[in-house]
């Protein structure tokens, strides 16, 4: 579904259209659940946070901004819900900030079958290298290449400046590039983009 239809559903929902709310749920629930699992391994906790998100969304819809990117807004809201739940579950703020979130890119099986053996080896190597990146860098790489969010959306979601977002992505790609220096940078980007599960 294109971005214009998503925004149309969002605006219709804010105006009171319950069918649009159902469409938003169907459109985003699975992606949000997968995203939430990057923060917490307990499926029930993520389901609760996702449920709370949609209940609050429905309850406060008249106060929502019709001009925001719905996906970015929902990702940010779910992230905040999960982090609040972690803090509420008697975890210190320092622990929450240091959690090693598993923001791995997900590679589609179809692509792995189609690619040549060299590409598959490079994909596996990139996955391993991504796992070694600091958690914040993995997070921005995941959001940029897996969820296709803009720098502005990522910065807003993570409450950082756009410059910081760009720097995090630059440093992550630079680190990846240092370990696959025999591969052209364009090919690294193509592999990141073509092997991400949508």
d(CA 103, CA 135): 7
Do 114 and 92 lie in one domain? The reply is: no
In a domain, 103, yes or no: no
Of the three residues 45, 78, 98, the one that is the final residue of a domain is 98
In a domain, 31, yes or no: yes
Q: Span 27-55, mean pLDDT?
A: 89
The CATH number of whichever domain residue 86 belongs to comes to 1.10.1740.10
Q: How many domains does the chain have?
A: 2
Do 67 and 35 lie in one domain? The reply is: yes
Segments in the chain forming alpha helices (H): 3-14, 18-36, 43-59, 70-88, 93-98, 109-114, 117-132, 135-141, 151-158, 162-179, 185-194
Do 136 and 84 lie in one domain? The reply is: no
Q: Among 33, 38, 36, 73, which Cα is nearest to 57's? A: 73
Confidence of residue 68 (pLDDT cuts 50, 70, 90): confident
Supply the range of the domain harboring residue 74: 3-98
What pLDDT was estimated at residue 108? Answer: 53
Neighbours of 142 (CB within 10 A): 22
What one-character DSSP code corresponds to residue 89? T
Asked whether residue 187 carries a pLDDT value surpassing 50, the answer given is yes
Do 73 and 148 lie in one domain? The reply is: no
What pLDDT was estimated at residue 92? Answer: 46
Do 115 and 93 lie in one domain? The reply is: no
What pLDDT was estimated at residue 53? Answer: 92
The CATH number of whichever domain residue 127 belongs to comes to 1.10.10.10
Which range among 32-46, 87-101, 176-190 shows the weakest confidence by mean pLDDT?
87-101
What pLDDT was estimated at residue 118? Answer: 59
Of the three residues 30, 65, 98, the one that is the final residue of a domain is 98
In a domain, 173, yes or no: yes
- The structure's pTM equals 0.57
Q: Would you mind telling me the total number of residues written for the chain in this entry?
A: 198
């Amino acid at each position: 579904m294109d971005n214009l239809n998503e925004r149309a559903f969002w605006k219709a929902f804010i105006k009171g259209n319950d069918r649009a709310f159902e469409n938003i749920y169907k459109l985003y629930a699975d992606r949000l659940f997968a995203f939430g699992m990057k923060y917490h391994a307990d499926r029930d906790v993520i389901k609760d946070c996702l449920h709370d998100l949609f209940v609050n969304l429905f309850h406060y819809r008249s106060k929502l901004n019709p001009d925001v990117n719905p996906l970015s807004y929902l990702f940010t809201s779910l992230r905040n819900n999960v982090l609040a739940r972690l803090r509420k579950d008697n975890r210190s703020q320092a622990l929450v900030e240091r959690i090693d979130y598993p923001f791995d890119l997900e590679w589609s099986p179809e692509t792995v079958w189609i690619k040549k053996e060299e590409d598959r080896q490079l994909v596996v190597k990139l996955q391993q290298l991504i796992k070694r990146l600091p958690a914040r860098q993995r997070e921005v790489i995941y959001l940029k290449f897996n969820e296709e969010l803009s720098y502005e959306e990522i910065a807003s979601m993570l409450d950082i400046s756009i410059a910081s977002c760009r720097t995090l992505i630059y440093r992550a790609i630079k680190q990846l590039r240092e370990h696959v220096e025999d591969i052209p940078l364009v090919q690294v980007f193509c592999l990141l983009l073509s092997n991400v599960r949508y």
